[in-house]
Structure 1
Amino acid sequence: MATNSQLNLQAVYAAPDASKVFTHEIPPASSTDSFAAKQSHLTTLQSLVPRLQEEINVFLTERMEEDKKTQGAISEKEAKEEENYGEEVVEEDA
């Protein structure tokens, strides 16, 4: 017996400071059990997965850019240390 319950393709992002739910509705499958109906349903699902992945990638890229901006306020000393990482720096007495 087939049911007409709602199906969703869903991914959840959860972090200590934010969360987001990505959802795409999966159209109900045909009530027939034919091969063509199943194939159509799977084709729809296959087209939704890359769209969901793209939305997640855009969101995560935005989050990374926000994090870079908030971390961009590093001290001058830290910036100099990062710039000279791996190099020996000899400070001269003035």
Structure 2
Amino acid sequence: MRELPFPLLVRLWDTCLAEVDGFSVFLVYVCAALLVRFRGELLSRDFQGMVMFLQALPTGGWDGGDLDLLLGQAYMWHTIFGASPGRSHRT
């Protein structure tokens, strides 16, 4: 919750609530998209530096377009990999 400005956080929660498996599955893809977004910064650091970076992501200046890109990536991966044979299906 602390990683995004409040209006974007509300939009993220709304998106997760709209998805059938929003908080149990879709949010994992959002987190993966976030890690890929900051891949370069993470790879350039040692472990402690990565942890410190992840605890204070530079997302304070993000706007709706940044979140749109992140959610779009997550949705694409969820669509492609969500029905993969290795995924356990919960009801």
TM norm structure 1: 0.30
Which protein is bigger by CA-based radius of gyration?
1
TM norm structure 2: 0.31
